[in-house]
Amino acid sequence: MFGLGQTPGLLKTREVEDCLNQLLSDVHEGSEGWIITPYATMKQLSTQRRAIAEAVKRGGNISFVVRDQPDQVNPAKEDLSEAIAQGLKLYCFNRLHAKVYWFSDTACVLTSANLVDGSFESSTEIGLVIPEGKLHNQIRQWIKEEIEPGIKEIMNTNYIKKIEKSIHKENISGHCIRCNEEVKFDSNRPYCIEHYKSWEKFSNPDYKERYCHRCGKENDSTMKRPLCIECFKRENKFK
């Protein structure tokens, strides 16, 4: 992997970007990642936005944390909408200033670089890549003790409720996310009766199904995220 040896390694501006892209590409099903960046206006960072969405789509458990202020929260919701639709967990944290990109099974990057437009083009940045090991584990412990207790979830079930309200107003039915049978749109039960009973035996909110609950097109839907990217974006205004 780029820049990764047995000991921490120094990264220059573009190397920070390349290393982050590599870490995201190495995310696999069941692995964990934390992207902690106070400032995240990413309209022009299409490579990173796509890499994050793909990492989540592959089954990575990725948490993204930004500074708790509207001019950071709102752009993050918009720019990361594709990844959010796939299951990205978006949080905010009061007075956040740390920049940490931590991934299980691979490495962590501590850096001066935020994920903002121009970070890797017009700024001079520095980073330290830290491979798996004692220090890597200590940084995860720092996240657990210093970050996790103070984070607030940005994207939650409220957005689904608002989508549901708009759909009911338009009198639009939904689809079972397992068999595609036409059903009543219900974010709490995006299944037909038969398949809801089947799902209920294990009640895994992240279990992957086959169809979008709104449009019925093929999609890696789950109980937690029953809409495809297109339907999510179309209803994004109701968040």
DSSP 87-121: T-EEEEETT----EEEETTSEEEEES--SSTTTTT
Instruction: Retrieve residue 136's tokens.
Output: 């890597």
Predicted TM-score of the model (pTM): 0.69
Rounded to an integer, what distance in angstroms lies between the CA atom of residue 146 and that of residue 112? 19
SS3 23: helix
Q: What is the DSSP string of 169-231?
A: HHT--EE-TTT--EE---TT--S-HHHHHHHHTT--TT---SB-TTT--B----SS--S-HHH
pLDDT band at 237 (very low <50, low <70, confident <90, very high): very low
In sequence order, the 6+-apart residues with CB closer than 8 A to the CB of 116 are 37, 39, 40, 41, 42, 45
- In this model, does residue 148 exceed pLDDT 90? yes
HSE (side-chain half, CA atoms, 13 Å) at 223: 16
**What are the pLDDT digits (tens) for 62-86?**
999 999 999 999 999 999 988 988 8
User: What's the whole-number mean pLDDT along residues 9-33?
Assistant: 95
- Cα–Cα–Cα angle for 16, 79, 41, nearest 5°? 55
**What are the pLDDT digits (tens) for 149-172?**
999 988 644 444 554 555 554 557
**What are the pLDDT digits (tens) for 91-133?**
999 999 999 999 999 999 999 999 998 888 888 999 999 999 9
User: What's the whole-number mean pLDDT along residues 55-59?
Assistant: 93
